[in-house]
Structure 1
Amino acid sequence: MLKPGYLVPQPIIVQRLPVILDEIAEGALLIPKFHRPFVWKDDQRLDLLDSIKRGMPIGSLVVWRTSHHRLETYRRLGPFVLPEPYEHREVYTYLLDGHQRLSTLYGALRADGEGKEDDVVDGSSPRWPIFYDLEGEEFRLLSRFTKPPATWLPVSRLFSPSSLYEYQRNLVDEGYSILVRRAESLANTFKDYQIASVPIVTEDLNQVTEAFRRVNRQGTKMSEIHMISALMWTSEFDLNERLRQVGEQLAPSGWGDIDHQILLSTIKLYRGIEIDKAAPEEVIKALREEPSLLDELAMYIEHTADFLSRFCRVEGPLALPYKYQLAILADAARQNGGPFQGATADALAEWFWLTTYTEYFSGMASTQLRHAVEHVRAVVTEGASACPPDLPREVSPLRRFDFNSVRSRALVLLLLRRDPRGPDGKPMSAAELVAEMGVEAVPKIFSSRDLGERVSSRGPENRWIVAPKRARALLDALTVLEGSERDELLESHAIPEVAVKKLARGDVAGFLSSRREHLRAIEKRFVESLGLTYAEESIET
């Protein structure tokens, strides 16, 4: 008996390339809209065609066969219109892996290929048609508004015997008889080229979603939201559009670019669905039974965004340590029935700093995550302690700064509490800067070249919060400003006086060493105020 979560092995199908393209043209093989649009660059398209010419493998396709699920599909492939899929059929066949490859092949081989306005991807439309330079024996793209040489064979003619014959006759008329056989050989190579298709036959959406994730790990990153959007789409309801509207509502608070997967996670919490479980059928059922969930979503995330701004200096998704924190807090806002205030807000702020500094959610299992959700609900509804029962108690000093790590981001958020000042000594919108620019808002003070080989530039002591274009001016201001303005500037960036004195003597390594000790002292006081232990004994000197 097959274990749950396993797919029944299916025989691999090997088909000639023209047959596969015919299936697309006839609407038998469908391209679901959870794929990203056609985005391949010119060199990728030309390399693919060259691989076929040389008889090299281009990878198998993965298709999903289902009798029950009707997905929203692309009506175009590259610049070419596809037929409407049959409304009533026993089995639908959807492409799970191979969209960019088949778009390239369909665009090159099935039509004469003039790009259309609505095919623009990231501001530029791919060039069609593709040619084969019979003299140079390589695939080429024509510069816009220029005429191809007579020896450039449009690849779209390879699968059209009459069109290819006409081109070959023109070659003879132009005095290129020697190239006729080369064109014929290329056509035969493409007609005989075979591609394997691996079918997945199941009605379990969780399995299909997981299969897509795995086969596309190095390419398209499909989240569960793509599958749900495709399954729920109708002319009256487009989940992607609704989530985009939620983003528009959140834009004034700095959260307009929030990942749709975080929104989905929040909806899951509302309905008691495990947050890290791929559960498209459960989410679809929840949204159909309670469409108001989407209306509530923006309101409660707005409450959460306001809380994160006031208590945690988090002004947008780029500054957020964990996506789970936002989803759990938005769920708590719903439990609370509105914004967090008083003792509840203080407790949740403490929970945020505890879970951030201890990297609480890193590698968290499903059961632990469920307990974390239940704990925060108890904080809101019952006044429970902010400290999770299973929270680690020890925090280690940060030795290497990496903004992508939660531990580094914890230090950045702590430094934001000091209201960093600009080169003019005046407060700047530092939290907004970090939310907008991410790691670019935390540049190095000194480059590796400035420090030489003996001094590392990777530590947190060599980072501060400032717009990159103002970083040099800020460094100069350390020794130029005087009086209270200078003192406030140093305090706001956690730079001790002794470090500046060393810098004035040209001792850059001494400056960094003094600041490292100062940063650790600041973190130690803060961490201990949370009831945690700062592991000083492991500090390297």
Structure 2
Amino acid sequence: MLLLEQLLDEVRAGRLRVPRFQRPYVWHPHQMLDLYDSIERGYPIGSILVWETSRSLPTLDRVAGIEVPPAPDGPVAYLLDGHQRLSTLFGTLVHRPEPAGTGRDRQWWIYRTLGAPDQRDLLFQHWGKHAPPADLLPMQAVLRTVDFLAHARRLARDPTTAGNSDALVDEAEQVAQRIKAYKIPVIRLFGGDLEHAVEAFSRVNSSGRQISPDQMVSALTYQAEHDETLTDRIASIRESIADSGFGDVAAEPVFQTIVAITGEDDVQGARWTALADRVGKTLDGVVAQAEVALHRAVRFLRYEAGVPVAWLVPYPQQLVLLGLFFHHRPDPDGAQGRALVRWFWSTSWSTVFVGGNAFQLRRALHQMRAFANGKAELSLQGQYAQPLPDRFDTEDGRVRAFLLWELNHFGQRYGLDGEPIELVDLLARSGPAAYRRIVTGTRDAANIANRIVLPTPPGASVRDALRNLPLKLLRPVTVSHGIPPAALAQLLADHRDGFIRERTAALVGLEQGFIQEIGGEDLTWDTTPEDGS
């Protein structure tokens, strides 16, 4: 056990260091405040896991934006678990050169409300507008006697607190004492190598968060002569894909693509230490190849498969498999391209990737590698197209498949003024929120057929906006959004359930026709009732 102040002194002296392979600081303001609330109430905040070794590892030269000195000679402790908590405490308790509430560092200024009538409330807050009132005790002053005394004098002089300054100073001293006396358990690993340290972290880290495979391989393949970790490179790939206009893709499929390119079929549960040993020296080349392949996969999705933005990809495994294909076959011929389009749509409608089935993914990787190398065809046998879901839930891959089909089938959409809607920009900017409910006040309001992409003026519902359209615009606007005449008649008559029923029937029929056209005899319909009976 170490006193909180002792732990921060270790960081300030450079003896406790944050390895560069650690994930960056990602905590939100409310998490920072919750941490302080737990400390003041004496609740445990978890242990800190450190690895003490004479081995030299590249580390961060700044923690929470504060410069730390180089490591001293001799053994050094490397932080394996607790980065978010330690950075929060270091960044908010240690004196910062920048004034409170200015610049990018304002998140590190946390205050404790003094004199609150109900001590059960959350008493900590951020303040970044202007000079804080006197009854807010800055955490920056807690460990520095000079700053604490200065704040006590301010309480005595400020007209808003002078009459109650003695009580407020007493409360501030109690707060400071609770923080100074707070002890944090420190688990120390001595000696050994980085592989064993990372394995220990993955088993016993106090936060309960298992280290992700990409973080583990990033740690195990870290090379001192390189500035970037695997985690850095994955972040860079994600940024470059986002910059292309496709939007954000998750780290996991990028990492899995890198693993697949190394020749692995088990990209979800490989023996990461063995993989790191096998590809350690060649990892830079593999990552570079993966970046090129993923950009080719993204171009295919956008311009061949009709996926305008990343969040509409039904399953992340599809991106991994396409990345693997374009690594082996950078310039496919027309027949291969058409086969890939057919495969993409078929796997979007089926359950082959639902739930992250590891066996199905291993088999799909093996088949895709063989297809790319001209040794096999992409078979769709055994795949079953799932029916259209009732509810609009964009976490459901089958819902995203429907949205993609609808985007491609209806093409250009028109706004209330009869002008074309910049659909891709709207979807990229607003995400799923771009899909608005048409009618409300019905039990089927959550139905997927009750959503369209149609901006309206503030305060205007989609239903009212459509019903109030001039006759010359009514038909072309509604048809462009996939509202057939029978459904429109129900909407104009304010028969809301009838509208949803008619539009659902029309959309289901159109989508089933497209599925049959794409899948042919290989992709069959799942006729199992939804209740599984």
Instruction: Give the TM-score normalised by the residue count of structure 2.
Output: 0.78
- Are the counterparts in 2 of residues 131 and 152 from structure 1 also a CA contact under 8 Å? yes
Aligned: 1:359 with 2:341: no
Q: Secondary structure at the match of 2:501?
A: helix
Contact 1:495/1:515 (CA < 8 Å) preserved in 2? Answer: yes
The secondary structure found in structure 2 opposite 1:126 is: helix
- Cα distance, 1:536 vs. partner? 6.1
Number of aligned positions between the proteins: 507
Q: Distance in 1 between matches of 2:420 and 2:276?
A: 45
Contact 1:422 1:474 in 2 (8 A): no
Which residue among 333, 342, 345 is the counterpart of 2:334? Answer: 342
Cα drift, residue 403 of structure 1: 1.1
Q: Deviations over 1:233-273 (max 9, x none)?
A: 65753245545554565456423633343322211111023
Distance 1:384 1:443 in 2: 44
For residue 397 of structure 2, what is the aligned residue in structure 1?
406
> What is aligned with 1:393?
384
Relative to 1, partners in 2 of residues 1:85 and 1:189: Cα closer, same or farther, differing over 3 Å? Answer: same
Task: Find the aligned partners of 1:352 and 1:427 in 2 and give their Cα distance.
Answer: 28
1:234-273 paired onto structure 2 within 5 Å: 234=224, 236-239=226-229, 242-243=233-234, 245-247=236-238, 249-250=240-241, 253-255=244-246, 257-273=248-264
Mean Cα deviation higher: 527-536 or 497-506: 527-536
Partner of 2:106: 125
The 8 Å contact of residues 21 and 106 in structure 1, kept in 2 or not, is answered as yes
Q: Please tell me whether the aligned partners of residues 209 and 227 of structure 1 are also in contact (alpha carbons under 8 angstroms).
A: no
> Which residue of 2 is the match for residue 519 of structure 1?
507
Q: Deviations over 1:323-342 (max 9, x none)?
A: 11111111111211x23331
Deviations 1:31-60 (A, max 9, x none): 34423326442x655554454344x21322
* Alignment check: 8 A CA contact 1:378 1:384 kept: yes
Shift of 1:519: 1.6
CA distance in 2, matches of 1:45, 1:246: 29
Structure 2: how far apart are the matches of 1:93 and 1:63?
9
Letter of the 2:309 partner, please give it.
G
After superposition, give the CA deviation of every residue in 1:421-442 in whole Å (9 maximum; x if it has no partner): 2136666554564355331232
Residues 1:131 and 1:415: Cα distance change in structure 2 (over 3 Å) = closer
Matched, 1:376 2:368: yes
Show the counterpart of 1:495: 483
- What is the CA–CA distance in structure 2 between the aligned matches of 1:514 and 1:76, rounded to whole Å? 61
- Which secondary structure state, in structure 1, belongs to the residue aligned with residue 392 of structure 2? coil
Name the SS of the counterpart of 2:355 in structure 1.
Answer: coil
Q: Does structure 2 retain, via aligned residues, the 8 Å contact 1:131–1:141? A: no
1:193 corresponds to which residue?
A: 182
The structure-2 alpha-carbon separation of the partners of 1:45 and 1:209, relative to structure 1 and needing over 3 Å to count, comes to closer
Equivalent position of 2:81 in the other structure = 96
Among 2, 6, 18, which residue is 2:5 paired with?
Answer: 18
Task: Quote the Cα distance in structure 1 between the aligned partners of 2:240 and 2:169.
Answer: 62
Q: 1:29 aligned to 2:29?
A: no
- Give the Å deviation of 1:66: 5.8
SS at match of 1:23: helix
Q: Give the superposition deviation at 1:417.
A: 2.0
Inter-CA distance 16–129: structure 2 relative to 1 (3 Å threshold) = same
Other-structure match for 2:316: 323
Letter in structure 2 aligned against 1:111:
H
Letter in 2 for 1:330: G
Give the whole-Å Cα distance in 2 for the aligned partners of 1:166 and 1:440. 49
Does 2:466 correspond to 1:476? yes
CA distance in 2, matches of 1:255, 1:481: 37
Alpha-carbon distance in structure 2 between the residues aligned to 1:179 and 1:460:
57
Aligned equivalent of 2:222: 232
RMSD: 4.3
Q: Which residue identity is paired with 1:106?
A: F
Distance 2:36 2:13 in 1: 23
Kindly indicate whether the alpha-carbon contact (under 8 Å) linking 2:412 and 2:420 is maintained by their aligned counterparts in 1: yes
Per-residue CA distance 1:45-96 (angstroms, 9 max, x = gap): 5554454344x2132223142648755433333353323234652x633141
Whether the 8 Å contact between 1:66 and 1:92 is mirrored in structure 2 is yes
1:272-310 superposed Cα distances (whole Å, 9 cap, x missing partner): 233213626735853632533333334322322222123
Shift of 1:516: 1.0
Q: 1:100 to 1:51 in 2, by over 3 A?
A: same
1:407 partner amino acid:
R
Which residue pairs with 2:62 in the alignment? 76
TM-score computed with the length of structure 1 as normaliser: 0.77
> Does structure 1 residue 207 correspond to structure 2 residue 193?
no
Query: What residue in structure 2 maps to residue 6 of structure 1?
Result: none
- Between stretches 293-302 and 277-286, larger displacement belongs to 277-286
Distance 1:69 1:300, change over 3 A: farther
2-side partners of 1:381 and 1:128: how far apart? 57
2:513 is matched by which residue type in structure 1? R
Aligned residue identity for 1:125: R
Q: d(CA) in 1 for partners of 2:33 and 2:392? A: 41
Deviations 1:440-492 (A, max 9, x none): 2322222x3xxx2x43211111022445669849962896455xx87665554
Range 436-445 or range 161-170, more displaced:
161-170
Flag structure 2 segments of 5+ consecutive residues without an equivalent: none
Contact (CA 8 Å) 1:61, 1:197: kept in 2 or not?
yes
Residue type at the aligned position of 1:333? F
Deviation readout 1:357-399 (Å, 9 max, x if unpaired)? 013112244343221111122333336343355x442523321
Q: 1:15 to 1:211 in 2, by over 3 A?
A: same
Matched residues in 2 for 1:364 and 1:128: separation?
A: 42
Q: Report the 3-state secondary structure (helix = DSSP H, G, I; strand = E; otherwise coil) of the residue aligned with 1:63.
A: strand
| Alpha-carbon distance between aligned partners in 1 of 2:394 and 2:44, rounded to the nearest angstrom | 37
Report the Cα offset of residue 412 of structure 1.
0.6
Q: What's the secondary structure of 2:81's corresponding residue?
A: strand
Structure 2 residue identity aligned to 1:342: G
Unaligned stretches of 5+ residues in structure 1: 1-13
The separation in 1 between residues aligned to 2:98 and 2:36, in whole angstroms, is: 19
- Say if 2:51 and 2:197, in contact at 8 Å, map to a contact too: no
CA contact (8 A) 1:253 1:305 kept: no
Deviation at 1:164, TM superposition (A): 6.4
Equivalents in 1 of 2:337, 2:307: separation in Å? 15
